Amino acid sequence: QVQLVESGGGLVQDGGSLRLSCAVSGRTFDSYGMGWFRQAPGKEREFVARINWSGGSTYYADSVKGRFTISRDNAKNTVYLQMNSLRPEDTADHYCARNRTPGVAEYAYWGQGTQVTVCS
């Protein structure tokens, strides 16, 4: 059973930074792409960033490009989301997810989420 556990959320002021972590169980972590998503109150879940199995390829939503960085440490089975220059509109529950199949950006496994609140 694949389990994903996010951490690192919290309350931060406008312009501040946070680093989210997602620890993933299982011995084949380095075979799968990973993604970060978020859901603000009253809104649908939206894509934030994704990274391929090796970390050599990343992709970002326009709303976070240049401010957020996704990375991974395959030795630690962990994916990260460094969030800089945070804005109140970044306030949301943030979720990490793992691909269902290696090389295919379809997400089948999700964490429980970590809350990020940015105050002005």
* Angstrom distances, CA of residue 61 to CA of 6, 57, 65, 68, 75: 20, 14, 6, 10, 27
How far apart, in whole angstroms, are the C-alpha atoms of residue 59 and residue 41? 24
Strand partners, 29: none
How far apart, in whole angstroms, are the C-alpha atoms of residue 119 and residue 15? 9
pLDDT, one tens digit per residue, over 22-55 is 999 987 898 999 999 999 999 999 999 999 999 9
Indicate the average pLDDT of the chain.
96
Band (8; pLDDT cuts 50, 70, 90): very high
- Using a 10 angstrom Cβ sphere, with 0-12 exposed, 13-18 middle and 19 or more buried, the burial of residue 40 is middle
